[in-house]
Chains A and B, each alone.
Chain A
Amino acid sequence: MEYFLSEEQQMMVDLARKIAQEKIKPVREHYDETEEFPWPIVKELAAADLCGTYIPQEFGGFGGGIFSLVLVTEELCKVDGGIALALAATALGTFPIMIAGNDEQKRKYLPDIAAGRKLAAFGLTEPEAGSDATGLRTTAVKDGDFYVLNGTKCFITNAGDAETYTVFAKTNPGRGARGISCFVVEKGTPGFEFGKKEKKMGIRASSTRELIFNNCRIPKENLLGKEGHGLITAQATLDCSRPGVAAQALGIAAGALEEAVAYAKTRVQFGQTIASFQGIQHMLADMATEVEAARCLVYATARMMDAHPGKRTTKESAMAKLFASETAMKVTTNAVQIFGGYGYSREYPVEKMMRDAKITTLYEGTSQIQKNEIALALIKEAATKK
């Protein structure tokens, strides 16, 4: 389908595709097997200027908006949904600075991230606070010119490898959702350490660790936005980042579809290619239609967000993420089905795509949480119309 990309956007897509094909494809199995962090690929992405397409030009990026992040993420994820996460999770960790940071904070942190010199990470989830962010137990207590952080974050993507962390903690535990604040914590700050690396089903090239704060003192200048506004920042961040997860899911699904079509054209059974069987054709037709529908929704959401910066887009972001991630799960499962027994083997790429796809229905809000968000927005909209 024609999506009327600008010349710049097409350049980003072509460049990301080139890197995916030439640099990522030959090593994707290696990083999945070894679970090493893909630093050489991050360096390639940095050299190609693809780390900060969504960051404003005045802070060293390209000012390409959410849509540029979506396009690059999709293209990289067609080949590998885990390696691209170094970049996509950095965007998630960077949005709080872009949304709530003051000019000085933006000048301090964004140029290094835009240039790919530093990665970022987003520290919200805790063992007891997953879908319910108000259950945070990490605290930040003001002490003169400092805040003192205590607590543990878990399942933090890029943790240990990123330099810049946006961390949510309770500054006023008595005030519930309004008692949460957002801070920048830099790697190497005394009292800030990393826990064990998670062993995951998929996206194994991406590092996931705990963040452990033990009397970690950070300067009060590291507070992003106002005290107590943390949850608003987190929600606005998720609005911006969910199209990125949706793009990851879309890329994985599109990659699996490509593999399935190619395989169906070459695999011969009963004296003919399996692509000549209507049963397979109908599966491929459904997969292609679902992928295209997901792409329409994700692109439209990203374009809407770029056209109205600052406007809350919780419903649309949640729809894009919900639909694209569920599509990724369906399409990758069917790709494995079309490959038959070979699809279950790690010799072929589709089983990895199926493993990688699953996370997209879980993180940055499960599919069920997306439905809650969508329903809540619908009910609110209906109420304001009266």
Chain B
Amino acid sequence: MHIVVCIKQVPNTTNVQIDATTGTLKREGVEAIINPFDEYAIEEAIRLKERFGGKTTVITMGPPQAEQALRDTLARGIDNAILVSDRAFAGADTWATSYALAQAIRTLGDYDLIICGKQATDGDTAQVGPGVAEMLNIPHVAYVKKIEEASNGSMKVERMMEDGYDLIETPLPALITVVKEINTPRLPSLRGLMNAKKAQIPHWNAETIKAEKLNIGLTGSPTQVLKIFSPPLRPGGEMLQGSLEQVAEQLVAKLKNAQLI
């Protein structure tokens, strides 16, 4: 079984600052980490390999420094890592990113399962995973919380829903996106870290993955970002003072005034 994991390097912060003039994320001085949801995808790939054998490959599209994110996955037990990196990919939206990743996976050749985290913590779109599946024309299941079986060209998974879960059987190859309930990611080992440090990570550019120029980077992105901004803080509420009756009276008067009742 060949399991491919797509990951993204994101800024390590829960409070992303936006540059007011350029409308882009402020990344200076912010440590880059593996998208937290992708950690579960990596762990699930390693567990599947431990259960069923095979090999694991991690792919990321990003600048050369994204190589560190790939090394972190090798330290945990992923077999191969590939960095898809080219200036021509810059400015890609979720469509162009899905296209580039799909092209990279096609270049890999054989694969049985693709795993992605449910979404990235910086963009929060949750579109790239399903997008890759569409580009590759394979089935996908989002929000997987458990893999029950994977054998003979098909797998059974549980998809987390708001009111329970769906049990879904899908033929392979397929793509799944996973939620944090699926596992507890392991830490790297010392041996893993040492091997990861020495590993050669291939860099694939637009030419390597046979990407059409019109489909990648800013040119290939149908999304037009007009403006990014933090929503203004809601003004604080007003506390009414007095006894219960007085407060009720004031409230009704205010609602009437506002023509809400």
Contacts from A to B (Cβ < 8 Å)? 7-8, 11-12, 15, 18-19, 22-23, 44, 47-50, 53, 62
Are B186 and A7 within 8 A (Cβ)?
Answer: no
A-B contact pairs, 26 of them (CB 8 A): A7-B197, A8-B194, A11-B190, A11-B193, A11-B197, A12-B190, A15-B187, A15-B189, A15-B193, A18-B187, A19-B187, A23-B187, A44-B187, A47-B186, A47-B187, A47-B189, A48-B187, A48-B188, A48-B189, A48-B190, A49-B189, A49-B191, A49-B192, A50-B190, A53-B190, A62-B190
Q: Beyond the given A8-B194, A44-B187, could you list 8 further A-B residue pairs with CB under 8 A, ordered by the A residue number?
A: A11-B193, A11-B197, A12-B190, A18-B187, A47-B186, A48-B190, A53-B190, A62-B190
Closest 6 CB pairs of A and B: A49-B190, A49-B189, A11-B193, A48-B189, A49-B191, A18-B187
Give the complex CA separation of A351 and B51 in angstroms.
45
Quote the shortest CB–CB distance from A191 to chain B (angstroms): 38
- Residue of B with least CB distance to A12: B190
Q: How many residues on chain B are close to A (CB under 8 Å)?
A: 10
Are B186 and A15 within 8 A (Cβ)?
Answer: no
State the majority secondary structure of interface residues on B: helix
Contacts from B to A (Cβ < 8 Å)? 186-194, 197
Give the complex CA separation of A48 and B188 in angstroms.
6
Quote the shortest CB–CB distance from A304 to chain B (angstroms): 24
- Residue of A with least CB distance to B192: A49
Give the complex CA separation of A50 and B189 in angstroms.
8
Give the complex CA separation of A22 and B187 in angstroms.
9
- Residue of A with least CB distance to B196: A11
Quote the shortest CB–CB distance from A116 to chain B (angstroms): 11
Give the complex CA separation of A216 and B194 in angstroms.
44
A-chain residues with CB within 8 Å of residue B197 when the two chains form the complex = 7, 11
B-chain residues with CB within 8 Å of residue A50 when the two chains form the complex = 190
- Residue of A with least CB distance to B190: A49
- Residue of B with least CB distance to A16: B190
Give the complex CA separation of A47 and B190 in angstroms.
9
Give the complex CA separation of A44 and B184 in angstroms.
13
Quote the shortest CB–CB distance from B185 to chain A (angstroms): 10
Are B187 and A11 within 8 A (Cβ)?
Answer: no
- Residue of B with least CB distance to A72: B190
Quote the shortest CB–CB distance from B43 to chain A (angstroms): 13
Are A15 and B188 within 8 A (Cβ)?
Answer: yes
Quote the shortest CB–CB distance from A373 to chain B (angstroms): 33
Q: A11, A22, A44: which has the most chain B beta carbons within 10 Å?
A: A11
- Residue of B with least CB distance to A23: B187
- Residue of B with least CB distance to A44: B187
Q: A22, A47, A53: which has the most chain B beta carbons within 10 Å?
A: A47
A-chain residues with CB within 8 Å of residue B186 when the two chains form the complex = 47
B-chain residues with CB within 8 Å of residue A15 when the two chains form the complex = 187-190, 193
B-chain residues with CB within 8 Å of residue A53 when the two chains form the complex = 190
- Residue of B with least CB distance to A48: B189
